[in-house]
Amino acid sequence: DTGVSQDPRHKITKRGQNVTFRCDPISEHNRLYWYRQTLGQGPEFLTYFQNEAQLEKSRLLSDRFSAERPKGSFSTLEIQRTEQGDSAMYLCASSLGGAGYEQYFGPGTRLTVT
């Protein structure tokens, strides 16, 4: 069990640029979640996948955000035309199932938009 991994760990970008983050879940986990966390707050749900299907998106996920999970393995989260308000820690988690199953988090990607 190698755990959830995320890449990059840190990203600094200029406002208006596009960024893409990658998440590799625990191999046997079919559910993958994306959360966003700002300083002093708990993680906020963005979206989740069951295998390759994206089942839900939060209202926090504007049209500038898109997530994919091709072939039900790794996932990518892309932010287009970044804004300073996008600066946050982006967390990925995976679980064996849905309701009742604990979610295991990766180390996060810290995004800073200048």
CB atoms under 10 Å from CB of 6, counted, come to 20
Q: Which of 98, 5, 101, 90 is nearest to 43 (CA)?
A: 90
In terms of CB distance, is 18 or 38 closer to other proteins?
38
Q: Which of 25, 29, 11 is nearest to 74 (CA)?
A: 25
Give 12's contacts (C-beta < 8 A, 6+ positions apart): 112, 114
Site string for other proteins, 3-42 (x = CB under 8 A): -x--------------------------x-x-x----xxx
- Least distance from C-beta 81 to other proteins, angstroms? 26
# chain residues binding other proteins, by CB under 8 A: 28
By CB under 8 A, the residues from 59 to 88 that bind other proteins are none
When asked if residue 95 is in the footprint of other proteins (CB under 8 A), the reply is yes
Looking at 24, 36, 48, 77, which residue binds other proteins (CB under 8 A)? 48
At 64, is the secondary structure helix, strand, or coil?
Answer: coil
Residue 49 carries which DSSP code?
E
- Residues contributing to the site for other proteins (CB under 8 A): 4, 31, 33, 35, 40-45, 48, 55-56, 58, 91, 93, 95, 98-100, 102-108, 110
